[in-house]
Amino acid sequence: LQLLRMGKSRRATAATDVNGGSSRSHAVLQLLVDGFDEGSTPAAEPVGGGGARYGLLTLVDCAGSERKEDSMYHTKERQKESTEINASLYALKECVRARAIALRGKRVKVPF
């Protein structure tokens, strides 16, 4: 819980014309879940072996993107911020796309 509080304290939000509490930063949280069937022990089971169960949950909170029409009355600073957010959302999309292709067994370069 301490890590969640620290992440929340670093989260940036600001009011926009469209949303009063728009997220202005990205956040990623990954939870690795592992466990063993009753009667098995971590030392007795290899990774992915008989009694082991694993899972990875990834939660992503993306900064709010702004359409150009919605931000035309923003300050130059806010317009620059919106441009940077949109560029980083595009980069994230390309990374997710590359990882999905790689999971299908194809060789691909993940951009980051």
For the segment 12-24, the average pLDDT, to the nearest whole number, is 74
Q: pTM for this structure?
A: 0.53
Q: Give residue 63's pLDDT.
A: 78
Rounded Cα distance, 70 and 82, in Å: 10
Q: Which tens digit of pLDDT belongs to each residue from 36-95? A: 666 666 555 555 555 566 787 888 887 776 666 666 677 888 788 888 888 888 888 888
Q: Give residue 55's pLDDT.
A: 81
For the segment 12-38, the average pLDDT, to the nearest whole number, is 75
Q: 85 burial class (0-12, 13-18, 19+ CB within 10 angstroms)?
A: buried
